[in-house]
Amino acid sequence: MQADTQGRLRSARPLFIQAPPELAAALEDYRRVLHTAHPLKTKHGAGLPADVKRLSLALTAERGPGPQANYLSNPANLSAYLYYFLPWNIYRVSRLLHGLALDLPEGSSVLDLGCGPLTLAQALWIARPQLRTRRLRFVCLDQTGSVMRAGKALFEALAGEAGQAWSIELVQGPLHKAPQGPFQLVAALNALNELAGGRGEEGRDALDRVAEALTGRLAADGRLLLVEPGTRLGGGLLARLREALMEEGLYPQAPCTHDAPCPMLAPRWRSWCHFTFPAEGIPAWLARLSDYADLEKDRVSLAFLLMSGDQPEYKDANSRVVSHRFALPGGQGIYACAEDGIRLMTFVQPPRGLLSGALVEAELPESPMRDPKTGAWVCPLDAAAPGEAKGQQPPEAPGGLAREAADQQPKGQTGDRKPHGAGVPGRPPRSGRPAPGKSGPAKTGPANAGYGKGGPAKSGPAKAGARRAGPGGPKGSKGPRGK
């Protein structure tokens, strides 16, 4: 390979920085929080691993009816969710919050839609200790009152008297019952999957209604944070909702490095936007419960979207790693998403920091080739350009530009919001949006045992050589965007 046909990696900043010891300590102590705020009855303790496994199968099934409406009103389901899914979700969201520059100034209001057991408030308390002394108002909405009340009790046990600076209001009802705001942060964690039941025009109309409801409650300088499981269903739902939100005048801040149509919605591209990282610092009690429930994992995954009305300064050289490294003849490769489409970056020795979710800045060849098997743009990287080391890095700012930690930043400037329904010039019409594309008995364990190991279902990278295609080509080679 000639030098002039190779790209040069300028930097690779991990999104999921190394798990801090404070997170591990908080999760180790969270068992005490659970026993204080929601002690298990004997029968629920004895059947907890089986209840966790059964609920996991219902929640992760991409076909079939899924869990029943208000499934958390069932005491056994509620205990299973609080003792297994909630700690893992707090871990996932905390890891994400450590890597995002998402600040909440004094006096901010937060709207948490489909809040469940107040996962967001608890994750913010753990991951952002600098916010604990600020006066913040949380409005938490869910259709199941029992899970919200349990979550508030858990937050009070977690935060103690120090948590009195945060005001928490519970609102029971559907989305349209949410207060109008405006809010500096509107969030929905694991709350959008129910929309996937819609098909065709029904599904698109549902996404449009959700987009209008979310943007209509944002302050002019507000942020929207959506987090879903790293499944095909969750990633595909966020990709389609992203288009509807852009039509309402919002811009992607992360993980997207551009505001072009999502390349992963191309009909021939069979993967989806999600990120995985090692499950580091998981407490032993949670590992044991996961093992007893036959859900032992060594890594976790998620899909997310951070948007606002401010248009970032997108860089043509930036892209986002959307896979793990995989073997290729004569070296290795990763897939990265950019404005021009999916890039297949190849190298002999893996540069440091080139991990799932990493923000990549690279000088690429002017005339790249397409991979005949995947349709991605082949971008060989010079092995002499190692990039930045992984580990503790500053959170990345909106649009992928690095900056200092969020607590050291002034409040962002207010951007001009497009009128609702005005759309974004050059966007495809709504009618053109694409449609979305081992179980076994749980192990038995002792009642009220110190449970723990595992996490959400594995969601690995696409295998090299899979028949996929992504639209477009890297900058400097204005190729077609594809069908």
Q: Residue 30 region, left (φ>0) first, then alpha (ψ -120 to 50), else beta?
A: alpha
Give residue 450's pLDDT band: very low, low, confident or very high (50, 70, 90): low
pLDDT band at 240 (very low <50, low <70, confident <90, very high): very high
- Would you state the pLDDT for residue 410? 33
Q: What is the DSSP letter of 85?
A: I
What is the mean pLDDT of the segment spanning 355-368? 87
What does the angle CA 167 – CA 168 – CA 169 come to, to the nearest 5 degrees? 120
User: What crossing angle do the helices spanning 21-37 and 284-292 adopt, rounded to 10°?
Assistant: 70
Residues of the chain with pLDDT > 90, as a percent, come to 55
Distances (CA, A) of 473 to 10, 192, 333, 338, 378: 20, 31, 17, 9, 9
**Residue 360 pLDDT > 50:** yes
Secondary structure string (H, E, C) spanning 185-228:
EEEEECCCHHHHHCCHHHHHHHHHHHHHHHHCCEEEEEEEEEEE
The Cα–Cα gap between 18 and 200 comes to 41
The DSSP element (H or E) to which 332 belongs, if any, is strand 331-338
Contact 119, 415 (CB under 8 A): no
The pTM of the full predicted model, rounded to 2 decimals, is: 0.80
State how far the Cα of 383 lies from the Cα of 332, in Å rounded to an integer: 11
CATH second-level architecture of 21-308?
3-Layer(aba) Sandwich (3.40)
What residue ranges do the domains of the chain occupy? 21-308
Question: Measured between alpha carbons, how far is residue 159 from residues 23, 125, 190, 231, 281 in Å?
Answer: 14, 8, 23, 32, 21
Distance, CA of 99 to CA of 105 (rounded, Å): 18
Residue 307: the pLDDT is: 97
Residue 457: closest CA among 147, 232, 227, 189:
232
Say whether pLDDT at 171 is over 70: yes
Higher per-residue pLDDT: 368 or 138:
138
Mean pLDDT of the chain: 79
pLDDT in tens, 87-128: 999 999 999 999 898 999 999 999 999 999 999 999 999 999
Beta bridge partners of 254: 306
Task: State yes or no: pLDDT of 153 exceeds 60.
Answer: yes
The CA angle 242-394-218, to the nearest 5 degrees, is: 35
